[in-house]
Amino acid sequence: MPEQYQEQYPYYPYGPQQVNPQDLSLVEQTNPKDVLKEIEMTLKGAVYNSLKEEWVIDENSSPIVNDLGINSLMADARGIINQNTILSNLTTEEISKMIIRLGRSIKNKIKMNWKEFDIDKSNLDTAIFSVTDPAFTALKRAMGEGEKRFLKTSVRAVESWTQNATQQAPSATSEKLKFWR
């Protein structure tokens, strides 16, 4: 947003907000974007090279799904693997229902579009499980407020450390993070 608008509308909700790097670091730790990246790259036929710390497409492998299919399947994956879901409090039953729904949606898309998605018949199950398995483990992070509890604990530790280090009243950062308590 241009600076003149920031001055004119200091509380504009859609503009860039001032974020404490410490707060961002805590929230960023719960972001499931790496899970989505893993799904996308797996569907492209890539493998993660931990020595180079990058995704590499092996010249001997081919994509499981073409770009049209990847876009379609990733839309379903993003609908379920997101920060809102990860920071929820889900039960085992809710997670099971969400994974079954995701699996059915992907299965139906693949069943109706496998030719358009350029999926080899031997890779039909692989395409489904490449999305549902990481989605399941991502959703398990929300079981019993797992990620939310992690954030609460981390916020309390940061507050305690900040207060002990400065020997002052709670800082502005502490006030911003009180939502997570």
What is the pTM for the complete model shown? 0.67
The two three-digit tokens of residue 28, written as one number: 């960023």
Return the residue matching tokens 């001055």: 7
* Cβ pair 29, 147 in contact under 8 A: no
Domain range annotation of the chain: 18-180
Residue 27, both tokens: 């929230």
Decide if 31 contacts 81 (C-beta within 8 A): no
pLDDT tens track for 107-157: 999 999 999 999 999 999 999 999 999 999 999 888 876 555 555 554 444
pLDDT of residue 84: 85
Dist. CA 144–CA 146, nearest whole Å: 5
